[in-house]
Amino acid sequence: MSSTVWLGIVSVVAVIVGPLIALGLQRYAEDRREKRQARSYVFRVLMARRATPLNYEYVQALNLIDVVFNSKSKNEEQVRTDWKVLLDHLEKNKDRPNFADVMGDLTATMLADMGKCLGYSFDSVYLKRAAYSPQGHGDVEAEQTLLRKQTLGNLCTSSASTA
């Protein structure tokens, strides 16, 4: 075959294959961006709400960890391990006197490892100490808890006396 025929064949293949390669690369870049955004969302929620671990959004973000930090990279495997250790502590050690301190330590370690996955460098001391939670928020939460307990106690007392 002549060089002109080869050049024609190569040109036709380039015209057909070139856009397919471009689409594949674009899709790959979009997938990476979506995965990073998901990891970033979970990290941002956990960072923003770390002083209020009973917050519903905080709990939802914790439950997304296995879904968004799911690659086989060593850093993401460490995040999932940190989450398993924290979850185990949350489920089994509720009655221990140092429960909150250990939870804070485990959470800080997990957030530091998440940060590494996303290119941040936070140490666990910073993560434990550098969260703002106004006293008023704690007071409101304690008052609401007290009111709920009193209301439930009154409901139980009134239903027992009517029975």
pLDDT reported for residue 12: 80
Whether the model pTM is above 0.75: no
Among 148, 117, 136, smallest CA distance to 46 is for: 117
Q: Which domain holds residue 137?
A: 9-142
* Contact present, 141 and 149 (Cβ < 8 Å): no
Q: Decide if 102 is inside a domain.
A: yes
Q: Decide if 103 is inside a domain.
A: yes
Among 70, 101, 99, 103, smallest CA distance to 87 is for: 103
The C-alpha atoms of residue 153 and residue 157 are separated, in whole angstroms, by 6
Q: Decide if 20 is inside a domain.
A: yes
pLDDT reported for residue 84: 96
Number of domains in the chain: 1
Q: Decide if 13 is inside a domain.
A: yes
The C-alpha atoms of residue 6 and residue 10 are separated, in whole angstroms, by 6
Q: Which residues contact 61 (CB under 8 A, 6 or more apart)?
A: 41, 42, 45, 46, 49
pLDDT reported for residue 154: 74
Q: Decide if 2 is inside a domain.
A: no
Q: Decide if 160 is inside a domain.
A: no
pLDDT reported for residue 100: 86
pLDDT reported for residue 27: 84
pLDDT reported for residue 127: 84
Per-residue pLDDT 10s for the chain (163 aa) are 688 878 888 888 788 878 878 787 888 778 878 888 999 999 999 998 888 888 899 999 999 999 999 888 999 999 999 999 999 999 987 788 888 889 999 999 999 999 999 999 888 888 877 766 677 877 877 788 888 888 877 777 766 666 5
pLDDT reported for residue 129: 76
pLDDT reported for residue 149: 83
